[in-house]
Structure 1
Protein backbone atom coordinates (compact mmCIF):
# COMPACT_ATOMS: atom_id res chain seq x y z
CA UNK A 1 0.00 0.00 0.00
CA UNK A 2 1.50 3.31 -1.11
CA UNK A 3 0.99 5.92 1.62
CA UNK A 4 2.51 8.82 -0.30
CA UNK A 5 0.24 11.00 -2.37
CA UNK A 6 1.01 11.33 -6.05
CA UNK A 7 1.50 15.06 -5.57
CA UNK A 8 4.47 14.47 -3.25
CA UNK A 9 7.78 15.85 -4.60
CA UNK A 10 9.46 12.45 -4.41
CA UNK A 11 6.76 10.94 -6.63
CA UNK A 12 7.30 13.74 -9.13
CA UNK A 13 11.06 13.08 -9.00
CA UNK A 14 10.35 9.39 -9.64
CA UNK A 15 8.23 10.24 -12.69
CA UNK A 16 10.77 12.73 -14.07
CA UNK A 17 13.57 10.18 -13.69
CA UNK A 18 11.61 7.45 -15.48
CA UNK A 19 10.26 9.69 -18.26
CA UNK A 20 13.68 11.27 -18.90
CA UNK A 21 15.18 7.78 -19.16
CA UNK A 22 12.50 6.72 -21.63
CA UNK A 23 12.93 9.86 -23.77
CA UNK A 24 16.71 9.43 -23.77
CA UNK A 25 16.30 5.82 -24.87
CA UNK A 26 14.04 6.96 -27.71
CA UNK A 27 16.67 9.53 -28.72
CA UNK A 28 19.42 6.91 -29.13
CA UNK A 29 18.37 5.71 -32.63
CA UNK A 30 18.41 9.32 -33.84
CA UNK A 31 21.85 9.76 -32.36
CA UNK A 32 23.14 6.65 -34.12
CA UNK A 33 21.57 7.87 -37.37
CA UNK A 34 23.42 11.18 -36.99
CA UNK A 35 26.68 9.36 -36.37
CA UNK A 36 26.00 7.23 -39.43
CA UNK A 37 25.93 10.34 -41.61
CA UNK A 38 29.58 10.94 -40.71
CA UNK A 39 30.48 7.46 -41.92
CA UNK A 40 28.56 7.75 -45.18
CA UNK A 41 30.47 10.75 -46.49
CA UNK A 42 31.69 14.25 -45.86
CA UNK A 43 29.05 15.98 -47.99
CA UNK A 44 26.17 14.23 -46.25
CA UNK A 45 27.63 15.03 -42.84
CA UNK A 46 28.10 18.69 -43.79
CA UNK A 47 24.45 18.82 -44.81
CA UNK A 48 23.49 17.37 -41.45
CA UNK A 49 25.62 19.96 -39.64
CA UNK A 50 23.91 22.76 -41.60
CA UNK A 51 20.55 21.35 -40.54
CA UNK A 52 21.63 21.47 -36.88
CA UNK A 53 21.98 25.26 -37.10
CA UNK A 54 18.17 25.49 -37.20
CA UNK A 55 16.86 27.29 -34.05
CA UNK A 56 14.34 24.51 -33.45
CA UNK A 57 17.16 21.96 -33.41
CA UNK A 58 19.11 24.18 -31.00
CA UNK A 59 16.08 24.26 -28.68
CA UNK A 60 15.78 20.47 -28.92
CA UNK A 61 19.48 20.14 -28.03
CA UNK A 62 18.91 22.27 -24.95
CA UNK A 63 15.95 20.08 -24.00
CA UNK A 64 18.11 17.01 -24.46
CA UNK A 65 20.78 18.42 -22.16
CA UNK A 66 18.11 19.18 -19.53
CA UNK A 67 16.83 15.59 -19.88
CA UNK A 68 20.34 14.23 -19.43
CA UNK A 69 20.95 16.42 -16.39
CA UNK A 70 17.56 15.53 -14.88
CA UNK A 71 18.19 11.84 -15.38
CA UNK A 72 21.69 12.09 -13.91
CA UNK A 73 20.53 14.14 -10.91
CA UNK A 74 17.60 11.80 -10.32
CA UNK A 75 19.88 8.78 -10.50
CA UNK A 76 22.30 10.36 -8.04
CA UNK A 77 19.36 11.08 -5.72
CA UNK A 78 18.33 7.42 -5.84
CA UNK A 79 21.91 6.31 -5.15
CA UNK A 80 22.13 8.62 -2.13
CA UNK A 81 18.90 7.12 -0.80
CA UNK A 82 20.13 3.58 -1.38
CA UNK A 83 23.68 3.86 -0.07
CA UNK A 84 23.56 6.69 2.47
CA UNK A 85 20.01 6.35 3.73
CA UNK A 86 19.24 10.09 3.82
CA UNK A 87 15.50 9.54 3.85
CA UNK A 88 14.61 12.57 5.97
CA UNK A 89 16.01 15.06 3.45
CA UNK A 90 14.26 13.76 0.34
CA UNK A 91 12.50 17.02 -0.48
CA UNK A 92 15.83 18.83 -0.32
CA UNK A 93 17.38 16.27 -2.66
CA UNK A 94 14.48 16.61 -5.09
CA UNK A 95 14.88 20.40 -5.13
CA UNK A 96 18.65 20.08 -5.55
CA UNK A 97 18.20 17.61 -8.44
CA UNK A 98 15.71 19.87 -10.22
CA UNK A 99 17.86 22.95 -9.70
CA UNK A 100 20.96 21.18 -10.96
CA UNK A 101 19.18 19.97 -14.10
CA UNK A 102 17.82 23.43 -14.91
CA UNK A 103 21.18 25.07 -14.20
CA UNK A 104 22.97 22.70 -16.58
CA UNK A 105 20.37 23.38 -19.28
CA UNK A 106 20.70 27.13 -18.79
CA UNK A 107 24.49 26.99 -18.96
CA UNK A 108 24.27 24.95 -22.14
CA UNK A 109 21.80 27.40 -23.66
CA UNK A 110 24.04 30.36 -22.83
CA UNK A 111 27.00 28.67 -24.52
CA UNK A 112 24.97 27.71 -27.61
CA UNK A 113 23.45 31.11 -28.31
Structure 2
Protein backbone atom coordinates (compact mmCIF):
# COMPACT_ATOMS: atom_id res chain seq x y z
CA UNK A 1 0.00 0.00 0.00
CA UNK A 2 1.32 3.44 -0.90
CA UNK A 3 2.44 5.94 1.66
CA UNK A 4 -0.47 8.28 2.30
CA UNK A 5 1.80 11.09 3.41
CA UNK A 6 3.28 11.44 -0.07
CA UNK A 7 2.22 14.64 -1.89
CA UNK A 8 1.30 12.67 -5.02
CA UNK A 9 -1.26 10.73 -2.98
CA UNK A 10 -2.84 13.99 -1.82
CA UNK A 11 -2.86 15.22 -5.40
CA UNK A 12 -4.77 12.05 -6.30
CA UNK A 13 -7.22 12.61 -3.43
CA UNK A 14 -7.82 16.28 -4.31
CA UNK A 15 -8.47 15.38 -7.95
CA UNK A 16 -11.04 12.73 -6.98
CA UNK A 17 -12.74 14.86 -4.29
CA UNK A 18 -12.99 17.86 -6.62
CA UNK A 19 -14.53 15.62 -9.29
CA UNK A 20 -17.14 14.36 -6.82
CA UNK A 21 -17.88 17.94 -5.70
CA UNK A 22 -18.38 19.03 -9.30
CA UNK A 23 -20.65 16.06 -9.98
CA UNK A 24 -22.74 16.97 -6.93
CA UNK A 25 -23.03 20.54 -8.23
CA UNK A 26 -24.53 19.48 -11.58
CA UNK A 27 -28.12 18.95 -10.34
CA UNK A 28 -28.07 22.46 -8.84
CA UNK A 29 -26.80 23.83 -12.12
CA UNK A 30 -29.59 22.11 -14.04
CA UNK A 31 -32.10 23.45 -11.52
CA UNK A 32 -30.83 26.98 -12.19
CA UNK A 33 -31.00 26.43 -15.95
CA UNK A 34 -34.57 25.22 -15.53
CA UNK A 35 -35.48 28.65 -14.17
CA UNK A 36 -34.06 30.26 -17.29
CA UNK A 37 -36.20 28.01 -19.48
CA UNK A 38 -39.35 28.92 -17.50
CA UNK A 39 -38.98 32.55 -18.44
CA UNK A 40 -37.44 35.85 -17.49
CA UNK A 41 -39.50 36.32 -14.32
CA UNK A 42 -38.55 32.89 -12.94
CA UNK A 43 -34.88 33.49 -13.68
CA UNK A 44 -34.97 36.97 -12.11
CA UNK A 45 -36.54 35.55 -8.95
CA UNK A 46 -33.91 32.84 -8.79
CA UNK A 47 -31.09 35.37 -9.26
CA UNK A 48 -32.49 37.52 -6.44
CA UNK A 49 -32.64 34.41 -4.24
CA UNK A 50 -28.97 33.64 -4.94
CA UNK A 51 -27.75 37.19 -4.26
CA UNK A 52 -26.42 36.56 -0.74
CA UNK A 53 -23.13 35.72 0.94
CA UNK A 54 -23.75 31.95 1.13
CA UNK A 55 -24.12 31.65 -2.63
CA UNK A 56 -21.10 33.91 -3.18
CA UNK A 57 -19.06 31.58 -0.96
CA UNK A 58 -20.44 28.63 -2.93
CA UNK A 59 -19.40 30.26 -6.20
CA UNK A 60 -15.89 30.70 -4.83
CA UNK A 61 -15.87 27.04 -3.79
CA UNK A 62 -17.07 25.98 -7.23
CA UNK A 63 -14.36 27.97 -9.01
CA UNK A 64 -11.75 26.54 -6.66
CA UNK A 65 -13.04 22.99 -7.26
CA UNK A 66 -12.91 23.56 -11.02
CA UNK A 67 -9.35 24.84 -10.79
CA UNK A 68 -8.31 21.94 -8.53
CA UNK A 69 -9.84 19.42 -10.89
CA UNK A 70 -8.21 21.05 -13.92
CA UNK A 71 -4.81 21.18 -12.24
CA UNK A 72 -5.14 17.59 -11.04
CA UNK A 73 -6.16 16.45 -14.50
CA UNK A 74 -3.16 18.17 -16.05
CA UNK A 75 -0.96 16.43 -13.47
CA UNK A 76 -2.47 13.06 -14.47
CA UNK A 77 -1.89 13.84 -18.15
CA UNK A 78 1.71 14.71 -17.38
CA UNK A 79 2.09 11.36 -15.61
CA UNK A 80 0.54 9.51 -18.55
CA UNK A 81 2.56 11.15 -21.28
CA UNK A 82 5.79 12.12 -19.52
CA UNK A 83 6.16 9.22 -17.10
CA UNK A 84 7.11 9.35 -13.44
CA UNK A 85 9.51 12.11 -12.50
CA UNK A 86 11.31 12.77 -9.26
CA UNK A 87 9.73 16.23 -9.14
CA UNK A 88 6.16 15.02 -8.55
CA UNK A 89 6.04 17.02 -5.32
CA UNK A 90 6.65 20.16 -7.36
CA UNK A 91 3.80 19.29 -9.75
CA UNK A 92 1.43 18.72 -6.83
CA UNK A 93 2.44 22.03 -5.23
CA UNK A 94 2.11 23.82 -8.56
CA UNK A 95 -1.36 22.32 -9.09
CA UNK A 96 -2.54 23.34 -5.63
CA UNK A 97 -1.06 26.82 -6.02
CA UNK A 98 -2.77 27.27 -9.38
CA UNK A 99 -6.12 26.22 -7.95
CA UNK A 100 -5.88 28.46 -4.91
CA UNK A 101 -4.70 31.35 -7.07
CA UNK A 102 -7.67 30.93 -9.41
CA UNK A 103 -10.04 30.86 -6.44
CA UNK A 104 -8.49 33.99 -4.96
CA UNK A 105 -8.63 35.82 -8.28
CA UNK A 106 -12.32 35.00 -8.52
CA UNK A 107 -12.88 36.11 -4.94
CA UNK A 108 -11.11 39.43 -5.56
CA UNK A 109 -13.05 40.14 -8.74
CA UNK A 110 -16.45 38.95 -7.49
CA UNK A 111 -18.55 41.86 -6.57
Normalising by the residue count of structure 2, what TM-score does the alignment of the two structures yield?
0.96
Question: What is the alpha-carbon distance in structure 2 between the residues aligned to residue 87 and residue 52 of structure 1?
Answer: 45
Question: 1:77 maps to what in 2?
Answer: 75
Question: 2:40 maps to what in 1?
Answer: 42
Moved over 3 A (4+): none
How big is the shift at 1:86?
Answer: 4.5
Paired residue secondary structure (1:88):
coil
Paired residue secondary structure (2:87):
helix
Residue of structure 1 aligned with 2:52, choices 51, 54, 65: 54
Deviation string 1:27-75 (CA, Å, 9 cap, x unpaired) is: 1011011011000011110011112211110000000000000000000
The alignment covers a number of residue pairs equal to 111
Deviation string 1:64-102 (CA, Å, 9 cap, x unpaired) is: 000000000000001001101242110000000000000
Question: 1:102 maps to what in 2?
Answer: 100
Question: Which has the larger displacement, 34-43 or 96-105?
Answer: 34-43
Normalising by the residue count of structure 1, what TM-score does the alignment of the two structures yield?
0.94
Unmatched segments (≥5 aa) in structure 2 = none
Residue of structure 2 aligned with 1:25, choices 23, 26, 34: 23
Question: 1:15 maps to what in 2?
Answer: 13
Residue of structure 2 aligned with 1:65, choices 40, 63, 66: 63
- RMSD of the alignment, in Å? 0.9
